[in-house]
Structures are given as structure tokens and as C-alpha cells.
Amino acid sequence: MKNNRRWAVPLFPLHGARWMVAGLCSLAILGGCATQAPVAASGDGWRKDQIADAYVFGYPLVASDLAREKATGGDASKPGQAPVNTLRHVTALPPVGAAGRPSVDTLESTAWLDVSSGPVLVSLPALPSMQSAGSGQLRGRYFDARAFDAWTNVIYSSVDATSDTSVPPAARPHGKAARAARAAAERTSELVFVPKGYTGALPEGVTRVETPTRYVWLSIRVRVNGQRDVREARKLQTAMRIDAPPADKTSPATAGSAWPNVTANTPSVVPSGDKADLLDATAFFSRLAKAMEDNPPAPDDPHAVSLLAQLGVKAGEPVQFRASDSALLAAGLADGRARVDTVPSNALSRNGWVWFGDAVGHYDTDYTLRAFLTKRQPGTGTKDGEVKPVAVSDSDDHTLNGANTYVLHFAPNQLPPVRGFWTLTAYTADGALIDDKALRLSLSDRDRLKKNRDGSTDVIVSASSPGKARASNWLPAPDGDFQLMLRLYAPKPEATSGAWAPPAIVRQ
């Protein structure tokens, strides 16, 4: 992999002013002749609902904007910070007590991309084949790359790019054609992110990824099999590069040089909604109006844009609410927060587990699902990239607690169906890892699970050891209340349609 990739031809940047004008023009078209005045404090129920609707719609962009500011702000010297267009590598497994339901089976590399000065080139190791090697494992070490626009919609996924699941079987290439297509996908290791509609020339042989927003959040995950495997996994991280034009708005960017990588042992800053929840109405909608200046809503959002305009929230303009509206605004925000905290009706729910399939990552106008996942499962890719069933109660609807012993009975040939890999992790009730005295922090397809005589598999979850005979199938749980998350990387269609479901969690 080249460390200093040069552009094959001169590139012309998208200047900040042009970006701003394009965003404002799109909003003007979408907003039409919407009312200019803020909401009146009439107390009408539909007006409170209007504020709640606007909150849910704008929540992902506000959360994303806050996360970007935290990750790239200041001199980027604080933990979790790196300049834009700079890869930041997490080089160690999460520490004891790490919050946010962190993965203990992957190392993550992240970057906030800014395409306002021109296209941004991302060089990755060759993508893995998504064809099964017979055991559910991908050939070689699994890794995936995902990119999200500022509204948290997926605009690129390496798993989707190498998956045939969206193509009807009759139309899929076979034989030599199939092998050639897979080989081409595996060589596609360079992505170029450009503003939507960009017409400038690009280097040859790269995959073009159009972004409708100025900022993009890039996440690359590499599988790691325990602490001893970290060094090998790091080799993939060192092969990743970002090449961007100089951030100079006064002259065209003709060439770029590789930006420095930043390494850290702390989790990356993801677009979660923790900080957005703390904003009052003026702060929230002011942040939204400012962020929309560079990150306009999608063309499918005219009703939402009109709704914001009726509230007096417009891209790049100050938001000023009347003091007499404060109670109504507070009530509307309270309703909006309640919606964001409520599991959407289109969630899959079976055997006490909740997860999501269709519409994830490509939300269209499903603003409730988008906002919910921004807060509860930030950085969620498409259904073909990953699904994450979560359980907090047993088969009798009692809260999971480490004082009890639970069994998950997988029928023969019914372990999680994946093209990549699966892993089961226990967290405290608030999503933190248990202490490092545990035998293991997760169970996965790499563990040598003992099968029953009929070919079924029993997984035991408890805080205390179930004994030597069942230790191979034991997942240690925290003391007190806890939750389980089952991650399926590159799941098969039956896992995302609900045809397959994790087994019930039965208390012994």
C-alpha cells in the first residue's frame, strides 16, 4: 500500500461558499413558502406534536455534530480526538468497566472526513471474500468498513459491496464470471468520497462514494481473537491511509499527502445521543440549524423541512423562540425524548430478544428508527453488515441477574447464521464490561463449544462457574442485573428477516 498517494489528475475543490449555497438552495426548494414565524403558544396538542416530530427528525444530525466537534475539536491532543481526514486507531481491547457496550472482539479505526476542500481518498487493505469457507468464517481475517453521512445514514459498507444478497439468484454471476467478480471486489481497496454530484476527475481504479453531507463518519473494524492477537490485527490498521487535499479554500487542490495516523487506547467518539439529550429547545434547534448549513436534509425530507421552518428553524439562521413558548417547547421536547427512548414498532422481537432488520442504515423517512438507533446503537450499519439482538430479561420476563444460572439452548444447526462471525457478550445493566477476573468476556464461533448428543448446544450464562464439565460453554455474567448482546457480523438473510431468532434465556 502506498503511503503517499498522488492524484492522477488535478482536482478542483468544492469551496465552502459553494457548499453553503447548495445546501441553502436545497432547503429553500424543500421548504417552499413555509410560515416564517415560530410556533405560537396556543397550547394546541398538534403543536406540541410538531415540536416532538421536529426533535426526532433532527436528533441524529445534532448527535452527529456534537460527536464530530468533540472528536476533532481544539488541538486534537485530548483522548478521543484527531483532526478531520485523520485515522484514529484503537490499539487495545476495551478496559475493565468500559461503558457503551463496547466490542471485545474487534479493534476499531475511525475518522471524520470533510469533503469541503475536495475528494478524500481512503486506502484500505484488500476487502475479504464474503464467500463462506465452510465453517462460517471468512477467508483471512475479518474486517469491514462503513461510512455514514452526517444524518447517520449508511453511504458505504464493504460488506454490502461484496454481498450478492440484493441480486436475484438468476441474475448472479456463476462459474468464472463469479470468481472474476469476487476477485475484483477484493482488489477494490481504495475509496474516494466526493460531494454528491461532483463532476471532477478522479484517480483510476477507485470506488466512488458520493456523500450528501459535508462530513462523513468512517468506521473500520478488524476482528481480534484475544489480547495475544492484537499485534497481528494492528498490521491491518497500519495499512490504512487517508489522502486529502490541503484545507485551503483559496486554491485548487492538485495533490494530497497521507495524513498522520493517531493511535489511542480509548474508545472512539461515535455519533451517540448522550449529549443531545441535555440540550434545551433553543440550544438543540440552534445546533440543528447550524449543522444543516453544511449537511442539508435529503430530498425526501420536504415535509420535515417545512415543519422546521414553521418552528423558525432554518439552515444557517439564528433560532429565536418567544419566552411565552418555553412551556410548550419543553413539553414537545419531553415527548420527543420519550419517542427516541421507545423501541420502534418495526423492531424484531422474539424469545425476549430485540433487534432490527429492514430499513436499518437506509432509513428513508423512518425518522423514529434512525433516532432510536443513534442513541441506543450508534454506528449501526445495514442489515447485511451486522445485526445486534439485545436481551434484558429471561423467558419468564424477569430481569437478568448474575445470581441466577441461565441456559440458551441452540437446536442442531441453529447457531447464529453468519457469513462473517458471531459473538455473545454480557454487560452490566448500564452497558459496562465486567471485571477482568472473568474467564472470558464473550463467547464466539471460535470457541470450542461442546455439543449435546443430538447436536444441539447449550450456552450457560451466570456470575458463578457452572463447573469444569460445562466451563467451555460458560459466559461469565456480572453480579447483579445485566444484559446480553449477540452480534452477528455479515449475517445471513434468515437472521435479518426474523426467520431465525436467538433462543429463549431460560433460568435454571
Residue 454's pLDDT band (cuts 50, 70, 90)? very high
Residues 410 and 353 grouped into a single domain: yes
SS3 230: helix
User: What pLDDT, in 10s, does the model give residues 216-248?
Assistant: 999 999 999 888 899 999 988 999 999 987 654
Tally of domains in the chain = 3
Provide the pLDDT confidence category of residue 23 given band limits of 50, 70 and 90: very low
Write the pLDDT tens digit of every residue in 247-297.
544 333 333 334 445 555 555 555 555 588 899 999 999 999 999 999 999
> How many Cβ atoms are within 10 Å of 32's Cβ, its own excluded?
10
Digit-coded pLDDT (tens) for 374-405: 999 988 999 899 999 999 999 999 999 999 99
126 & 189 share domain: yes
Contact 243, 116 (CB under 8 A): no
Which residues contact residue 70 at a Cβ distance below 8 angstroms, ignoring those fewer than 6 apart? 80, 81, 269, 275
Residues 296 and 387 in one domain: no
C-alpha to C-alpha distance for 411 and 423, rounded to whole angstroms: 17
Does 249 or 146 have the greater pLDDT score? 146
26 in a structural domain: no
Q: What is the pLDDT of residues 114-129, one digit of tens each?
A: 999 999 999 998 755 4
Q: Mean pLDDT across the stretch 473-498?
A: 94
Please indicate, yes or no, if residue 52 is contained in any of the structural domains.
yes
- Classify residue 362: in a domain, yes or no: yes
pLDDT of 21 higher than 50: no
User: Are 155 and 36 in the same domain?
Assistant: no
Q: Which of 18-22, 97-101, 188-192, 381-385 has the lowest mean pLDDT?
A: 18-22
Is 214 found in the same domain as 110? yes
Predicted confidence (pLDDT) per residue in 417-446, tens digit: 999 999 999 999 999 998 766 678 899 999
- Cα separation, 506 vs 479, in Å, equals 18
Alpha carbon of 429 to those of 54, 74, 91, 400, 477: distances in Å? 31, 34, 27, 9, 11
**Of 199, 194, 233, nearest in space to 116 by CA:** 194
In 3-state terms, the chain is what percent helix, strand and coil (to 5)?
25, 20, 50
Domain boundary among 300, 318, 340: 340
What tens digit of pLDDT does each residue of 81-117 get?
Answer: 789 999 999 999 888 788 889 999 999 999 999 999 9
Answer yes or no: do 253 and 361 share one domain: no
Let me know whether 382 and 499 are in one domain.
yes
Using the structure block, give the residue that is written with the C-alpha cell 458505504: 156
pTM, to two decimals: 0.81
- The pLDDT confidence band at residue 133, using thresholds 50, 70 and 90, is very low
Same domain, 352 and 335: no
E strand or H helix at 22: helix 16-31
Last residue of a domain, one of 324, 340, 356: 340
Q: Look at residue 137 in the predicted model and tell me its pLDDT.
A: 38
Render pLDDT for 147-177 as a digit per residue (tens, 0 to 9).
999 999 999 998 875 554 333 333 333 455 4
| % of the chain exceeding 70 in pLDDT | 75
Asked whether residue 212 is domain-assigned, the answer is yes
Task: Write out the residue range of the structural domain in which residue 471 sits.
Answer: 348-507
In this prediction, residue 438 carries a pLDDT of: 66
8 A C-beta contact, residue 53 and residue 338? no
Identify the band that residue 30 occupies on the pLDDT scale cut at 50, 70 and 90: very low
Q: What are the pLDDT digits (tens) for 303-336? A: 999 999 999 999 999 999 999 999 999 999 999 9
Domain closes at, from 214, 240, 264:
264
Half-sphere exposure of 404 (CA within 13 A, CB side): 16
- Name the nearest CA neighbour of 461 among 401, 389, 416, 395: 401
* Domain contains 269: no
Report if residue 233 sits inside a domain.
yes
CB 293 within 8 Å of CB 81:
no
- Stretch 496-508: mean pLDDT, rounded? 95
The pLDDT value recorded for residue 253 is: 34
- What mean pLDDT comes out for the span 192-208? 92
Q: How far apart are CA 505 and CA 258, in angstroms?
A: 49
Reported residue count of the chain is 508
Q: The domain spanning residue 106 has which CATH number?
A: 2.60.40.1610
The Cα–Cα gap between 360 and 320 comes to 34
In this structure, are 301 and 356 located in the same domain?
A: no
Considering the domain architecture, whether residues 329 and 428 belong to the same structural domain is answered as no
Torsion, Cα of 182, 186, 189, 195 (10° steps): 20
75: confidence class by pLDDT, cuts 50, 70, 90: low
Return the pLDDT at 507. Answer: 97
Domain membership flag for residue 154? yes
pLDDT of residue 245: 76
Kindly state whether residues 229 and 314 are assigned to the same domain: no
Tell me: pLDDT of 490 over 90: yes
In a domain, 414, yes or no: yes
Measured CA to CA in angstroms, residue 257 lies from 88, 301, 439, 500 at distances of 17, 37, 45, 47
Q: Output the domain CATH number for residue 407.
A: 2.60.120.600
- What pLDDT sits at residue 169? 33
What pLDDT does 74 receive? 59
Give 64-73 pLDDT, tens digit per residue. Answer: 999 999 899 7
Distance in Å from the first CA to the final CA of the chain: 53
Task: Identify whether residues 396 and 317 lie together within a single domain.
Answer: no
CATH of the domain at 296: 1.10.3360
d(CA 389, CA 504): 12
Task: Give the chain's mean pLDDT.
Answer: 81
pLDDT at 357: 85
3-state secondary structure 274-329: CCHHHCCHHHHHHHHHHHHCCCCCCCCCHHHHHHHHHCCCCCCCCCCCCHHHHHHH
